[in-house]
Each structure stands twice: as C-alpha cells, then as structure tokens.
Amino acid sequence: MSEDCIRLEFDVDSENFASAGMASEAVKTKLKQLGINMQDVRRVAIAMYEGEINMVIHAKGGKATVDIFPHRVDMILADKGPGIADIDLAMKEGYSTAPDNIRALGFGAGMGLPNMKKNTDAMKIDSVQGIGTTIYMTVNLH
C-alpha cells in the first residue's frame, strides 16, 4: 500500500439488515470530502452497495476493504458464504437466487452483479462453493 492510498475497512454485519448500506455511505462521504467528481462517486457507491447487499443476503456478512488512490478506487468484498455455483448465470440480468423474504424488501431483481459490472472499470469474482466469494472491483477516477 503506497502512501498515496487511503484505506477504509468495514465489517459488513448480517444481523441488522436495516443497517446495510452503511459502508457504502461512509465511502461515498469520504470520496465527496476528497472532491472526487460526482459521477465517479456514484459509480463507486452503486458497486459498493450492491456488493454489501449481496454479502448480507447470501453470505451472512463479510469484510469490505476500499483503497482510494489518486486515480482509482479498489474495492475488495470478501465473504465466507456458500459461494456462487454458476458465475456466468449469476452475471445475467434478472437471474436471482434470493429468497422471497428478501424480494419482499425490494431486492432480488437479479441486478446486483450486473450493476456492479456496469459501474466498474474492472471486476473479478473468485468463488469456491462452500468456502466463500471474493469480489475485486476497480473504478477509475476522472
């Protein structure tokens, strides 16, 4: 980690579904303080929020690490959840494995991973069933 990097770390709590989004909001606030342009702030916030929600819905929480560099933001979201059985399928808009109680909250439209992909410049998913999932995302800053 270079000196030009600001690192933010979060434990994403699955116990309190109502508090989901706190990490994304903290990252957004920090980026705004740093004077990052709003379009980029919004892309980071969307990607981060979707990742956070996924960890709450599917993996009983996890850890989020956000590194803010002068020209990019790296996000690493790591969980010890069930893993993604078919990543290609999971990336399709409209495909969801979220249960009905989650859909009733307004999630489970099958837009989470596609939204993350759309709003980042690079995204990589490492997932092993029964072990967990780690998602690496980068948003370039303009």
Partner 1 sequence: MKVSRLAEILNAEIINLSEDREIETGYCGDFLSFAMSRLPSNSAWFTVMSNANVAAVAVLTEAAAIVVCENVRPDENLSARCKTEGLNLLIVAYPAYECAVKLSQALKNE
Q: Please tell me the count of residues contacting partner 1 according to CB under 8 A.
A: 25
Contact pattern from residue 78 through residue 97 relative to partner 1, giving x for each residue in contact according to CB under 8 A and a dash for the rest: --------------------
Could you tell me which stretch among 45-53, 59-67, 80-88, 120-128 binds partner 1 (CB under 8 A)?
45-53
Task: For the beta carbon of residue 16, count every other beta carbon within 10 angstroms.
Answer: 10
- Cβ atoms of 138 and 73 closer than 8 Å: yes
Per CB under 8 A, does 75 bind partner 1? no
Given the complex with partner 1, which of 62 and 112 has the nearer CB atom? 112
The only residue of 4, 9, 25, 86 in contact with partner 1, by rule CB under 8 A = 25
Minimal distance, residue 85 CB to partner 1, in Å: 20
Cα end-to-end distance, the chain, whole Å: 21
The only residue of 119, 120, 127, 133 in contact with partner 1, by rule CB under 8 A = 119
